[in-house]
Structure 1
Amino acid sequence: MHSSTRVTLPAAFEVAEIDYLALLIANMLERLIAHNDKIPLLPESLTRFHSRTVPNISVLDYLRRIIKWTKVEKSCLLLTLHYVDQICARIPLFTLSSLTCHRFIISSITVCSKGLCDSFCTNALYARVGGIPVTELNVLEREFLRAIDWRLMCTREVLQEYYINLIRTDSSGRFGLEGAESEVEDSDMESVSSRSASPMDVQVRHRPSFSLLGTREPSSVPGDTATLPTIEQNMAFAALQHSLKKPP
C-alpha cells in the first residue's frame, strides 16, 4: 500500500510503477462512474456488460486483483481507457457505471492481452480472476470486439497522452510528473496545454463523442481518438442533457 505523500511519476508510462497506474485509472473511472450512476438507466441502454447488482469490490481492488493474477501489461491497462472512448463514441447509449465497469474491465484486459501481448492467460483464468463464469466471458469477449469494431491497436503516443491526462486530472492531488516544473517532452506539454479550454464551452458548441482524452488535432492513425473531448466534457454534456429533459 502506498503512502499518501506526494509522488513524482516518471515522464514515460512504461517506467511508472503499475500500482500507481492502477490508482490513477481507478480514480478516473470512479469519478466517471459516480457521475454516470446518477443518469437513469433506460431499457434500451442495457448491454451484456450490465451486472444485476453492483459488485462488492472497488474498481481499484479489482484492477489490483487482475494485475496480481494475470500479470497484465501496463499498456493494456491504459488501452482500457482507449476502448472506453471507442465504445462510447460508437454506442452513445453505453455508459460506464457501477453495473458495467467490472465486466468491461475484465473483457478489455482479456481481449487486449490475447490480441496484443506475447504472453497471456486462458479465458478460464481471466474469468476466475474476474469473478464471472467462463461461458459469460466468452460472450462478453465477442460482444466487446464487435463494440470496438475489432480495432485493438493504438499508438504509443495516444497511450502516453492518457497517462499525462490521468496525472493532470487526478482528484487526489498526490501525483506530479517528473520534470513538469522545468521542461517535459514538448509533445506531452502540448497535449496538456491543448486541453486547457473550458469543457462546458466545448459542450455548448458541439455535441461531442465521449473521451477520457483531451481534444487534439485530427489524426490519420486508424483507431486514434484524436478529436474526442475529455471526461470532464463527457460529464458536462450528460448533465446538460439531463437538465434539458426536466419539465419547466
Structure 2
Amino acid sequence: MGALSFEPTIFCPLDYVTLGLKDPIKDYLGKPRVLSLLSSILDKTVKENEKMLETSEAEDVITVFHGTRAPSLSIQQYIDRIFRYSNCSPSCFVIAHIYVDRFIHRTNLRLNSLNIHRLLITSVMVAAKFMDDAFFNNAYYARVGGITTRELNKLEMKFLFGVDFQLHVSVQTFKKYCSTLKQEASCGLIERSIPVCGTEDGCTSNDDDSLYSHSTSR
C-alpha cells in the first residue's frame, strides 16, 4: 500500500513542510496548513460554479453526491472534522484533491454546496485506503462524514467507477497540486478553479445521524 514515495531529491522539502505534510507548520488551531488551503480552493470553486449557474441557462446535473440542501458545516469545518477523526495522513487530502479533479474530468460534474461534502468524505476515504498503512472501515468513515454506511458504500463505488479506478498518483502530479496549494498560501488567489492540473499519470455521531438531507437522486 502507498502510492507515493517521497525523497528529498524528488520532492522539495520546503514545499512539503510548508503545507504541513511533514513536520507540519500548524496554524493557530494546530492543523496542517494544507487543510485550510484546500478548503479555500474548494470554497472558491463552489462559489464560482454556483454564480455561473445563476447567471446562465445551464442546469446542474443531479447525482448521487447531491443533497437537497447544503449541510450546516462549511467546507473548512468539514475538512477539519474529517482530519480530526479519521487520523489519516495530511498527504491524503492532496491525493483526495487529485481524485476529485479526475472525477470532474471524467464526469463533467460541477462542484457546488450540494455535492462537495459527499465528494470530500468519499475521496479522502479512498485516498486513505490507497495511501496509508492503517485506515478504518466504511462504517467509521460514514459516522465521521455524517451519512449512513449504506450511502457511503454506494458513493465509494460510484466514485471509483467515475475515476475508472485510476488511483495511482505520480510524484510529478503530486508536486503540481502541492504547487497550486502553495500558490494559494502565497497570494491567497487561485485564478483557475478545479481542475487545476492534468492527471497524467473516535467520533460521537451515530450511524443514522446525517449532516445532509438525502439526495434527490439515488
TM-score (norm 2): 0.72
Which has the larger Rg? 1
- State which of 128, 133, 137 in structure 2 corresponds to 1:122: 137
Matched residue type, 1:147 = G
Counterpart pick for 2:15 among 11, 31, 35: 11
Q: Answer whether contact 2:101 2:195 (CA < 8 A) is retained.
A: yes
2:200 is matched with 224
- Counterparts of 1:40-59 in structure 2 under 5 Å? 42=59, 45-59=61-75
* Residue type of the alignment partner of 1:224: E
User: Aligned pair 1:211/2:195, yes or no?
Assistant: yes
Report which structure shows greater RCO (CA 8 Å, sep ≥6).
2
Following TM superposition, the consecutive aligned residue runs of length 4 or more in structure 1 with deviations greater than 3 angstroms are: 169-174
Aligned residues: 176
Structure 2: any 5+ residue segments left out of the alignment?
1-12, 26-30, 202-218
3-state DSSP of counterpart to 1:37: helix
In the TM superposition, 1:105-144 aligns within 5 A as 105-144=120-159
Match of 1:165 in 2: 180
CA RMSD of superposed structures (Å) = 2.7
**Cross-structure match for 1:65:** 81
1:244 alignment counterpart: none
Which amino acid in the other structure matches residue 111 of structure 1?
Answer: V
Which amino acid letter does the alignment assign opposite residue 83 of structure 2?
I
Q: Does 1:26 align with 2:39?
A: yes
Q: Return 5+ residue gaps in structure 1 as ranges.
A: 1-8, 175-197, 200-209, 216-222, 226-248
- Percent identical among aligned pairs is 29
Query: TM-score, normalized by length of structure 1?
Result: 0.64
Give the match's secondary structure for 2:43: helix
Aligned twin of 1:91: 107
Q: CA deviation at 1:112?
A: 1.6
Encode CA deviations 1:41-66: one digit per residue, 9 max, x unaligned: 736x1111101110000111111111
